[in-house]
Structure 1
Amino acid sequence: MANSASGMAVNDECKLKFLDLKAKRSFRYIVFCIEEKIQQVKVDQVGHPDASYEDFTACLPANECRYAVFDFDFTTDENCQKSKIFFIAWSPDTSRVRSKMLYASSKDRFKRELDGIQVELQATDPSEMSMDIIKARAL
């Protein structure tokens, strides 16, 4: 179903992979990209369950926008193991203006398709999604 604001459809694989990440913890992260020619959001890359946050950040292109979800495991101050699913809108300053606009206008609708996101983060360079920021937003 295309969004009237951005005309963007969401490939079913995006929702299925997200459910696998959320329910079965089959992946540590999923990176999504917009296929402009067919006006659809699709899965770009997935990270195996034992992938690190560094593996995840390394797979984000330096000059192209992406959406991503990351399943972050952490320990609370009370020593409880917890997990939060982050939605990250990656929009580097060096990416094309048209691409940034397309990702920005499609983000909210795409995010609604992924039920279970707990924290949202917008990043234009790696420092805006450092591990310190992830930890602070998780607590």
Structure 2
Amino acid sequence: MANAASGIAVHDECKLKFLELKAKRTYRFIVFKIEEKQKQKQVIVEKVGEPAESYDDFAASLPADECRYAVYDFDFVTAENCQKSRIFFIAWSPDSSRVRSKMIYASSKDRFKRELDGIQVELQATDPTEMGLDVIRSRAS
């Protein structure tokens, strides 16, 4: 099922991995990439992070000069001392990435996000400071 706006399909593995993260907490994060080389452009899973991996591991897995979508399962403790978690959707679009790539990612984002049922917080980031741990913490609560 391609997106009319950008012609991008979503590979089934994206939804399966997301469900595993959401329901079973099998992963800490998932990085998604739009595969542009094939005839049918589609969003694929580029990398998954093990539950023990840190936020720094996640941030390091995003390329410095290419767009990506990512999902991060953030655990935190509330002021009332309750253990909680929030699933973040991050649209990573660094300033140094190609304009065409930014346009493809921007036009496909909403449809791709709809495929992942259970996203709680969305962030748009063009450099690492816009998705730092302090930003994640403040948006989680």
TM-score (normalizing by structure 2): 0.98
Deviation at residue 128 of structure 1 after TM alignment: 0.3
Counterparts of 2:46 and 2:55, CA distance in 1: 17
What amino acid is the match of 1:2? A
Residue of 46, 49, 52 corresponding to 2:48: 46
Counterparts of 1:104 and 1:61, CA distance in 2: 17
Residue of 41, 58, 61 corresponding to 1:59: 61
Counterparts of 2:4 and 2:126, CA distance in 1: 26
Query: Which residue of 2 is the match for residue 28 of structure 1?
Result: 28
In the TM superposition, 1:49-128 aligns within 5 A as: 49-128=51-130
- Runs of 4 or more above 3 Å deviation: none
Counterparts of 1:62 and 1:132, CA distance in 2: 20
Q: How many pairs are equivalent?
A: 139
Deviation at residue 129 of structure 1 after TM alignment: 0.5
Deviation at residue 37 of structure 1 after TM alignment: 2.4
What amino acid is the match of 1:21? L
Where structure 1 has 5 or more consecutive residues not aligned to the other structure, the ranges are none
Counterparts of 1:47 and 1:110, CA distance in 2: 20
Equivalent residue of 2:37, what SS? helix
Equivalent residue of 1:72, what SS? strand
What amino acid is the match of 1:72? F
The CA RMSD measured in Å over matched residues stands at 0.4
Equivalent residue of 1:137, what SS? helix
Equivalent residue of 1:89, what SS? strand
Counterparts of 1:13 and 1:4, CA distance in 2: 21
What amino acid is the match of 1:14? C
Counterparts of 1:105 and 1:71, CA distance in 2: 24
Counterparts of 1:103 and 1:3, CA distance in 2: 12
Aligned sequence identity (%): 76
Equivalent residue of 1:37, what SS? coil
